[in-house]
């Protein structure tokens, strides 16, 4: 296990907004940060990072927690793997004796695959730089493509020797499992005799890294001239590698995408590398696959502006229209650059200087509507039927744009380019929107389960009873965590069966007041997480101390971290500008803490009283099965509860809740 001291040091050093900022484009919002959720497809930012508490909260998905739980959710790391990721990022050593044999055996499949793939990445690099065959074949190939040595190392390029079992034998000798060598696609088994061989043998290697820079798979290019041999092999889908969610080069491109507020989208690995070497560092590739929604959402974390770079092949351009439509549907701003004379990004980057390349990319960029109109107009020249089909295709693209103002601007531009009345286009766009909505409604209707009960089928409860999650408990815990160590002066009275003690002012901390009220009245929490937090907090109080600020937000139990993050993160906060610019002073919750604490305790008590009253009523309904003594005890208890209910109800009728 990783030692507690090491874990505490990792949490102390890790800067949550810095770590999450590698995955989400965060903007400052007061003292906090805000961005688009990486977990859902949203248009309005609802993802918040609170540096002062070391927590994040996603209001669209309900997820929340600390920096470790974010990595576990986003990257699907295990708890130890997330800690090691942070340790590596912040140069914190984790001694090998901190890792037990049991922990190694219990590694998740994803983590085990990651270890094998990382070994392979280093092995491929070593083979290319430090073996004669690797230098003559692999390194020479990359240098002939015009790549500098520093760029080759930056992208971790490598070589897999021609011999059949190079990496397989090396990995097995190191103790890596054959199972994971096969699952990662590094090793294949022959059907004829069951022997093993290297899947990428005789190929140059392009490591594929995720947004955090961790290698998850490989692309491998053959150096053979035989047409029957596939030009590229990619790692197979696994727990670690999902090609539909990965963009080649994203780990290196994300800082420049943020800086330029634009992402260049290309097709291949060498396109990305050549552009990067030429100083255009905000380019990524879909790695030969059709653009997917997950890839688009990955880009949208960092920018809403995408420029697609084409090599001029007419068939490829038309095939890409689907990708443009997907980008528009996700609310992206799309521009297009077409390279001259059959060049692609790779060849053109090597032909011209860095300054000439950047100037061309800026000058040649065209809006998608102009680009698509030019392409389709050439096909439809002189043919009214084809021209009508072209207009409908462009209208269909405009109708995908979710923003109404942007849709209107494109409609005006389309009207000007096609010389068609704007109102005609608006009518067609509205028709397309209505048809899409109707299709969605029909699909939604078909997906409904006819066996599900309707509202008319669900009987109403016979009596009013607190239902659903105990929000009173969560509010109680929120106050405890937020203000537990703050001092209060309360007017309190005590009552026993023998005597009632007069009220007197008592100075105490909020936590002592809240927890003592629960203990005195025998309140037990229904919510297990609430009960866990209160129990641990009480443990600190019994030792005459308060829990450290990060005790619950860095808790070893992730459900506790997520629960606490949800309670402590407010989506909206009061701006200081009310007082600064408008001279309007609004009292904070801390200033009204006495009232807030009293209300929270009494709400919790009232809920428990109502639940117990209803439980007694249910028992009394079964009067025939009760003895006279049991009935008398229940009635006596009910009288005392009714008195408490009356007192609490009177309290809520006279106190203004703040």
Give the pLDDT confidence of 602-656 residue by residue, as tens digits.
787 787 778 778 878 777 777 667 777 777 777 777 787 777 777 766 666 544 3
Q: What local confidence, expressed as pLDDT, does residue 623 receive?
A: 65
Asked if the model's pLDDT at residue 394 lies above 70, the reply is yes
Give the residue-averaged pLDDT of 220-241.
Answer: 87
Per-residue pLDDT band at 453 (split at 50, 70, 90): very low
Which residues have CB under 8 Å from 205's CB, separation 6+? 121, 124, 128, 138, 157, 158, 159, 160, 218, 219, 220
Q: Which two tokens stand for residue 252?
A: 């290196």
pLDDT class of 577 with cuts at 50, 70, 90: low
CA distances from 326 to 273, 332, 545, 587 (A): 25, 9, 56, 48
To the nearest whole percent, how much of the chain has pLDDT over 70? 82
- Per-residue pLDDT for 255 more than 50? yes
Architecture of domain 109-241: Alpha-Beta Complex (3.90)
Residue 150 has a pLDDT of 95
Print the SS3 string covering 512-533.
HHHHHHHHHCCCCCCCHHHHHH
Looking at per-residue pLDDT, the higher value among 327 and 604 belongs to: 327
The domain 250-437 is classified under which CATH number: 3.40.920.10, 3.40.50.620, 3.30.365.10, 3.40.1360.10?
3.40.1360.10
Phi, psi angles (nearest 5°) of residue 69: -65, -30
Q: Quote the pLDDT of residue 461.
A: 35
More confident residue, 451 or 4: 4
pLDDT of residue 188: 92
What is the reported pLDDT for 604? 78
| Per-residue model confidence (pLDDT) at position 464 | 37
Q: Which residue did the predictor score with more confidence, 436 or 552? A: 552
Would the pLDDT of 415 be above 80? yes
Of the listed ranges 169-173, 357-361, 378-382, the least confidently predicted one is: 378-382
Q: Which residues pair with 221 in a beta bridge?
A: 204, 232
Tens digits of per-residue pLDDT, 177-221?
A: 899 999 999 999 888 888 899 999 999 999 999 888 889 999 999
Quote the pLDDT of residue 443.
Answer: 62
What is the rounded average pLDDT of the residues 36-40?
Answer: 87
Q: Rounded to whole angstroms, how far apart are CA atoms 78 and 72?
A: 6
Look over the chain and give the mean of its residue pLDDT values, rounded to a whole number: 80
Class of domain 4-105: alpha beta
Q: Which of 223-232, 291-300, 481-490 has the lowest mean pLDDT?
A: 481-490
Angstrom distance (rounded) from CA 241 to CA 307: 26
In the predicted model, is pLDDT for residue 578 greater than 70? no
Report CA dihedral (334, 338, 344, 346) to the nearest 10 degrees: -60
Average pLDDT over residues 73-101: 76
Length of the chain: 658
pLDDT(436) > 50: yes
Q: How confident is the model at residue 358 (pLDDT cuts 50, 70, 90)?
A: very high
Write out the H or E segment, with its range, that includes residue 17. Answer: helix 16-20
Q: What is the pTM of this model?
A: 0.67
Least confident of 74-78, 95-99, 277-281, 384-388: 95-99
Buried-exposed string 624-652: b where 16+ CB fall within 10 A, e elsewhere: eeeeeeeeeebeeebeebeebbeebeeee
Give the tokens for residue 449. 């389960």
The domain segmentation of the chain, as residue ranges, is 4-105, 109-241, 250-437, 471-654
> What value does the mean pLDDT take over residues 429-433?
86
Query: How does pLDDT run across 147-167, given as a tens digit for each residue?
Result: 999 999 999 999 999 887 899
């Amino acid at each position: 296990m990783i030692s507690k001291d090491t874990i505490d040091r990792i949490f102390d050093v890790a800067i949550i907004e810095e770590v999450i900022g590698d995955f989400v484009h965060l903007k400052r919002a007061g003292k906090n940060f805000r961005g688009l959720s990486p977990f859902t497809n949203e248009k309005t930012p609802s993802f918040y990072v609170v540096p002062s508490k070391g927590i994040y909260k996603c209001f669209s998905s309900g997820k929340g927690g600390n920096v470790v739980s974010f990595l576990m959710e986003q990257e699907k790391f295990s708890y130890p793997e997330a800690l090691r990721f942070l340790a590596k990022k912040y140069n914190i050593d984790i001694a090998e004796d901190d890792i037990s044999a049991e922990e190694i055996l219990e590694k998740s499949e994803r983590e085990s695959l990651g270890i094998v793939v990382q070994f392979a990445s280093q092995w491929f690099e070593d083979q290319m730089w430090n073996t004669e065959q690797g230098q003559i074949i692999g390194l020479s190939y990359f240098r002939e493509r015009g790549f500098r040595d520093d760029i080759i190392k930056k992208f971790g390029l490598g070589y897999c020797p021609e011999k059949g079992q190079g990496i397989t034998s090396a990995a097995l000798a190191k103790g890596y499992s054959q199972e994971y060598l096969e699952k990662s696609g590094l090793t294949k088994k022959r059907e004829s005799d069951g022997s093993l061989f290297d899947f990428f043998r005789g190929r140059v290697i392009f490591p594929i890294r995720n947004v955090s820079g961790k290698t998850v798979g490989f692309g491998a290019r053959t150096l053979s001239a035989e047409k029957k041999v596939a030009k590229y092999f990619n790692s197979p889908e696994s727990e670690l590698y999902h090609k539909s969610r990965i963009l080649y080069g994203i780990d290196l491109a994300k800082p420049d995408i943020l800086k330029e507020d634009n992402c260049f989208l290309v097709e291949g690995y060498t396109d990305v590398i050549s552009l990067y070497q030429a100083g255009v560092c905000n380019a990524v590739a879909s790695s030969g696959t059709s653009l997917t929604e997950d890839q688009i959402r990955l880009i949208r974390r960092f920018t809403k502006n995408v420029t697609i770079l084409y090599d001029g092949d007419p068939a490829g351009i038309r095939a890409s229209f689907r990708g443009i439509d997907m980008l528009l549907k996700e609310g992206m701003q799309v521009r297009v650059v077409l390279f001259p004379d059959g060049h692609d990004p790779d060849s053109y980057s090597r032909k011209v200087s860095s300054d000439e390349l950047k100037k061309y990319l800026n000058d040649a960029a065209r809006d998608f509507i102009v680009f698509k109109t030019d392409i389709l107009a050439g096909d439809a020249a002189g043919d009214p039927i084809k021209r009508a089909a072209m207009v409908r295709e462009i209208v269909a693209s405009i109708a995908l744009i979710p923003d109404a103002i942007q849709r209107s601007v494109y409609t005006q531009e389309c009207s000007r380019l096609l010389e068609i009345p704007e109102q005609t286009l608006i009518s067609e766009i509205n028709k397309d929107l209505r048809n899409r909505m109707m299709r969605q409604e029909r699909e939604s209707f078909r997906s409904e389960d006819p066996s599900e009960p309707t509202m008319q089928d669900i009987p109403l409860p016979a009596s009013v009873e607190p239902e659903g999650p105990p929000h009173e408990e969560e509010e109680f815990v929120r106050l405890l965590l937020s203000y537990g160590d703050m001092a209060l002066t309360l007017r309190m009275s005590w009552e026993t069966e023998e005597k009632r003690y007069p009220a007197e002012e008592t100075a105490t901390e909020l936590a002592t007041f809240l927890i003592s009220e629960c203990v005195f009245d025998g309140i037990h929490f229904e919510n297990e997480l609430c009960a866990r937090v209160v129990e641990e907090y009480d443990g600190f109080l019994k030792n005459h101390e308060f829990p450290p600020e990060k005790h619950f937000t860095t808790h070893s139990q992730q459900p506790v971290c997520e629960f606490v993050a949800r309670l402590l993160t407010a989506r909206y906060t009061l701006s200081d500008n009310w007082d600064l610019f408008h001279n309007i002073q609004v009292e904070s919750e801390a200033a009204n803490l006495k009232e807030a604490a009293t209300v929270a305790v009494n709400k919790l008590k009232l809920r428990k009283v109502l639940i117990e009253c209803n439980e007694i009523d249910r028992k009394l309904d079964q009067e025939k099965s009760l003895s006279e003594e049991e009935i008398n005890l229940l009635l006596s208890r009910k009288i005392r509860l009714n008195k408490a209910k009356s007192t609490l109800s009177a309290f809520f009728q006279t106190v203004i809740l703040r």
